[in-house]
Amino acid sequence: MEHALFYPTRDEDEALAYHARQPHGKTATVLTKPLVSPRDLALAYTPGVAAPCRAIARSADNAYHYTNRGNLVAVITNGSAVLGLGNLGPLPAKPVMEGKCMLLKHYADIDAFDLEIDEQEEDRLVEVVRALSPGFGAILLEDIKAPLCFAVERCLREMLSIPVLHDDQHGTAVVVVAAVMNAAKLIGKPLENMRTVVCGAGAAAIASAELLLRVGIRRDRLVMVDSLGVITTHRPLLPDYKRRFATSRRLTTLAEALVDVDLVVGASKGDLMDAQMVRTMAERPIVLALSNPVPELRAEMAATARPDLIYASGRSDQKNQVNNALVMPYLFRAALDCEAALFNEEMLLAAAHALAALAEEQPPQSLRERYPQESLRFGVDYLLPKLDDPRLITRVAPAVAAAAERTGVARRSIGDRADYMERLKGRITHKESEE
């Protein structure tokens, strides 16, 4: 069969060459036990393998001791919302899922296996994931469109006794909350006084709005805007997940909603905001423009229109990157280590507070040398730590594990916190020491 022709740009060509290097893709399987002698074979396979099978049959908890379940995450998608590319289907989503597996391994020493499921119907998708779940210690849902993602995650959380997280929702929400808390601290505005606009009503937008309410943003000061305009109580046939954020104010357009607003969280599409809209916002406004690759407000436009504006985006080539990879690996590291039954809101908030606090600490010399053109000092251009900050695992994971224990969802204690931090340091693949 002939392959369809594809003519990449220069950047795309480089990305294709990266993925095509031998071996193809970004992940592989490695052996963790020796298999060099007849005795090794007898222990690893028949007859020796029967012993752990019987042990697990007696108690499912033994799977954490005799198999890789306690360090294995299933990264699952149906490809219905791949990046900003839309419903490409399961196979085109595989490079993204491999990328998530790569992040889990590199940043948190977690083994992960990607599963691309050819199913768009809610009940069938839930049943497939449920049926595949026994061999895994946790499940990471990715690139599933809204509102399907809400229903799938809710059903799986109710069915399974292992943690389930939809990263586009909750991973994004944690990092958004951390960035907002730090930006609000810099401008001296209490969260409860801030007027907020959320651009978008998909997975990331809804979850971010929900978590922002938990840290102080007031519902009566929050306006959500979707592709049809401001979501209001006057609009008929609103789905439940949008109705929760409907305002009674007589607003129609994004431009109207932005007048005198302190905070904008964009999780929608590029170029929604122009310079004139930005000029109508309140003094010292905050804009998190997270659409990729084109943000809702471009950085150069933000700088020109409002020099007093604090700006962040989802792009890795700009300062203040708000990226869910800042927390996702460490949420799973903590959940696996304490054998959590689920992710709860307290664990997410613990991650947000730990991430925000880390930005105020001086980074290690090795990290400063990697970014010689940036000060990496807490301020308007450094709201959050860098993705490759080696301290993330030792700050975020212990905070999340402690929250799991405190709220009763942990089935195993991580023990002494200092000892746990030392164990975490030994796990990270880049092996950089803290100062």
pLDDT 10s digits, 387-399: 999 999 999 999 9
Quote the CATH superfamily of domain 24-162. Malic enzyme, N-terminal domain (3.40.50.10380)
| pLDDT tens for each residue of 28-68 | 999 999 999 999 999 999 999 999 999 999 999 999 999 99
Query: Which residues make up the CATH 3.40.50.10380 domain(s) of the chain?
Result: 24-162
Reading phi first (left if > 0) and then psi (alpha if -120 to 50, else beta), residue 64 is in alpha
pLDDT of residue 319: 85
**Which amino acids are annotated catalytic?**
45, 100
Distance in angstroms (rounded) separating the CA atoms of residues 349 and 343: 11
Confidence of residue 293 (pLDDT cuts 50, 70, 90): confident
Asked if residues 27 and 105 have their Cβ atoms less than 8 Å apart, the reply is yes
pLDDT above 80 for 84: no
| pLDDT tens for each residue of 223-250 | 999 999 999 999 988 999 999 999 999 9
Domain covering 171-313: architecture? 3-Layer(aba) Sandwich (3.40)
pLDDT above 90 for 146: no
pLDDT of residue 429: 54
pLDDT of residue 8: 58
pLDDT above 50 for 432: no
Average pLDDT, stretch 17-35?
A: 93
pLDDT of residue 7: 52
Work out the mean pLDDT of the chain and round it to a whole number.
93
Q: What percent of the chain has pLDDT over 70?
A: 96
Q: CB-based burial of residue 105 (10 Å sphere; 0-12 exposed, 13-18 middle, 19+ buried)? A: middle
Asked if residues 330 and 402 have their Cβ atoms less than 8 Å apart, the reply is no
pLDDT above 60 for 298: yes
pLDDT of residue 431: 46
| pLDDT tens for each residue of 326-372 | 999 999 999 999 999 999 999 999 999 999 999 999 999 989 999 98
Considering only CA atoms, give the Rg of the chain. 23
| pLDDT tens for each residue of 180-222 | 999 999 999 999 999 999 999 998 999 999 999 999 999 999 9
Lowest mean pLDDT among 7-11, 275-279, 331-335: 7-11
Confidence of residue 11 (pLDDT cuts 50, 70, 90): confident
pLDDT above 50 for 433: no
Q: What percent of the chain has pLDDT over 90?
A: 85
Structure tokens that stand for 221 in this block: 């000061």
pLDDT of residue 430: 47
- Higher pLDDT among residues 379 and 429, named by residue: 379
Query: Which residues make up the CATH 3.40.50.720 domain(s) of the chain?
Result: 171-313
pLDDT above 80 for 271: yes
Average pLDDT, stretch 266-289?
A: 95
3-state secondary structure the chain: CCCCCCCCCHHHHHHHHHHHCCCCCCCCCCCCCCCCCHHHHHHHCCCCCHHHHHHHHHCHHHHHHHCCHHHEEEEEECCCCECCCECCCCHHHHHHHHHHHHHHHHHHCCEEEEEECCCCCHHHHHHHHHHHHHHCCEEEECCCCCCHHHHHHHHHHHHCCCCEEEHHHHHHHHHHHHHHHHHHHHHCCCHHHCCEEEECCCHHHHHHHHHHHHHCCCHHHEEEEECCEECECCCCCCCHHHHCCCECCCCCCHHHHCCCCCEEEECCCCCCCCHHHHHCCCCCCEEEECCCCCCCCCHHHHHHHCCCCEEEECCCCCCCECCHHHCHHHHHHHHHHCCECCCCHHHHHHHHHHHHHHCCCCCCHHHHHHCCCCCCCCECCECCCCCCCCCHHHHHHHHHHHHHHHCCCECCCCCCHHHHHHHHHHHCCCCCCCC
